Amino acid sequence: MTTARLPQRGTDDVPVDVPRVPAREAAERELSKPMYHENDPSLLERGLDRFLKWVGGLFDAASGATPGGLLGLLAIVVVVLALVGALWWRLGTPQRTPATGDSLFDGPRTAEEHRAAAARHAAAGRWNQALQERMRAIVRSLEERTLLDPRPGRTADEAAAEAARSLPSHSDELRAAARSFDDVTYGGRTADELAYRRIEELDTALERTRPTLDIAAAGALE
């Protein structure tokens, strides 16, 4: 075993040999005492310092590769953020495709009950809820007129496509109403009074429209 010679005066002034490993361990134990580490940075501070150094290194590397250095890099970041913001504002929250469980109705109510609920929401300026209830009134009314068969789990898109077969003159308006319903219900969009009035007018127009009976009958037999 390798040893370290430490001078130690005894009675005969003979140096004492101390093994290196125990000596190192003794030094480590001494240096591990709290009194030597009172001013050391905390674990969080050390981690934050390393993270900031890493981010700084990334910026240094990016600025060195970007025309104009750091100012050029910041200009690119600002432009990218502006483009992302513009796309978000234009497209809104990404729409979720309605799944099979995304039923149009949330309970067994009549068309008139849905219309009354829509009117209450509209009077309070709650255009999202007003639009949703008016779309439900349209579909429930078509079911009550036997132009659609009552079917649990039907979505607004499905109802519009099926209703367009017996009411072809309003097929475009029905599909547009279904899209508005999906945008508000699943896409995070916000309806306004104009969007609600369009569906209200469609509901009134459909009440006055006579269906194409041969197409309606064919659909009922399928």
42-99 per-position pLDDT tens digit: 677 777 778 777 767 766 666 666 565 666 667 667 767 877 776 666 555 544 444 3
Q: Residues near 4 by Cβ (< 8 Å), separated by ≥ 6?
A: 17, 18, 19, 20, 23
Q: What pLDDT, on a 0 to 100 scale, did the predictor assign at position 136?
A: 93
User: Are β-strands 16-19 and 3-6 bridged in parallel, bridged antiparallel, or unpaired?
Assistant: antiparallel
Segment (H or E) for 30: helix 20-31
> Long-range contacts for 103-110 (Cβ within 8 Å, ≥24 apart)?
103/152, 103/153, 103/154, 103/155, 104/135, 104/136, 104/139, 104/154, 104/155, 104/156, 104/159, 104/181, 105/136, 105/139, 105/140, 105/152, 105/154, 109/136, 109/140, 110/140, 110/144
Tokens of 4: 């370290």
Q: What pLDDT, on a 0 to 100 scale, did the predictor assign at position 101?
A: 39
Q: What pLDDT, on a 0 to 100 scale, did the predictor assign at position 45?
A: 75
In the chain, the amino acid numbered 86 is: A
Report residues of the chain scoring pLDDT below 50.
1-2, 10, 94-102, 215-222
Torsion of CA 140, 142, 145, 151, to 10 degrees: -60
Task: Tell me the C-alpha distance between 114 and 141, whole Å.
Answer: 10
Q: What pLDDT, on a 0 to 100 scale, did the predictor assign at position 80?
A: 72
Task: Tell me the C-alpha distance between 177 and 161, whole Å.
Answer: 11
E strands, the chain, in order: 3-6, 16-19
